[in-house]
Amino acid sequence: MKKLITTFHNKLTQSKSKFLISVPYTWLIIFLLIPIFLILKISVSESVLGIPPYKNLTVWSESTLQLFFDFENYLILFQDKLYRFALGQSIKLASIATLFCLVFGYPIAYFISRTKKSTQPFLLLLILLPFWTSFLLRVYAWIGLLSKNGLINHFLIKLHLISDPLPLLGQ
């Protein structure tokens, strides 16, 4: 009897863990993968006036499946100068941001991983704390740092690196 109860308990524990693991996967499939596939489907469909505002990609005729992909939307993206410029600027900005994250993030993560186990949670808290503050407070903090009378311009003038404040906020 004890073996039966132990076996039942083990199976129940395994099914609970499978359920707990399936929850985030289901969430990602529903709210990430399905919308991405829908956007990709619409992007290679021919636009029409109607509901839905695109033609079907697949048609069954004479027991064969025909696929109709329309890449005209992507041609417009690369033919129009404004779209090319916006895409280039986006890729450039994303590359610079990625580079900064790698240059600053890895040394900080390495430093935290090499400190004592007792101080690691505190250091991680210091990194995560700014993400908990309100967006509006962060905007005001950036204004305080980057304005003409801000901390950065004041610091650069005191070091005699610049004579007039820099327009860091596009002022």
Predicted local distance difference test score (pLDDT) of residue 27: 94
Percentage of the chain lying above the pLDDT 70 cut: 95
Residue 145 maps to a domain: yes
Residue 164 maps to a domain: yes
pLDDT above 70 for 4: no
Predicted local distance difference test score (pLDDT) of residue 56: 85
Residue 127 maps to a domain: no
Which residue range is the domain that position 156 belongs to?
A: 133-171
Predicted local distance difference test score (pLDDT) of residue 132: 82
Higher pLDDT, 110 or 16: 110
Residue 34 maps to a domain: no
Place of tokens 């690196």: 161
Please say whether the beta carbons of 34 and 41 come within 8 A.
no
Which of 46-50, 64-68, 94-98, 140-144 shows the lowest per-residue confidence on average (mean pLDDT)? 46-50
At residue 71, the 3 state secondary structure works out as coil
CA distance 145 to 153: 8
What mean pLDDT, rounded, does the chain reach? 88
Predicted local distance difference test score (pLDDT) of residue 59: 85
Residue 149 maps to a domain: yes
Residue 166 maps to a domain: yes
CA distance 118 to 77: 52
CA distance 116 to 57: 57
Tokens found for residue 24: 């985030």
Residue 11 maps to a domain: no
Please say whether the beta carbons of 44 and 73 come within 8 A.
yes
Among the listed residues 17, 80, 5, 67, the one whose alpha carbon sits nearest the alpha carbon of residue 41: 67
Residue 79 maps to a domain: no
Domain total of the chain: 1
Average pLDDT over residues 143-150: 91
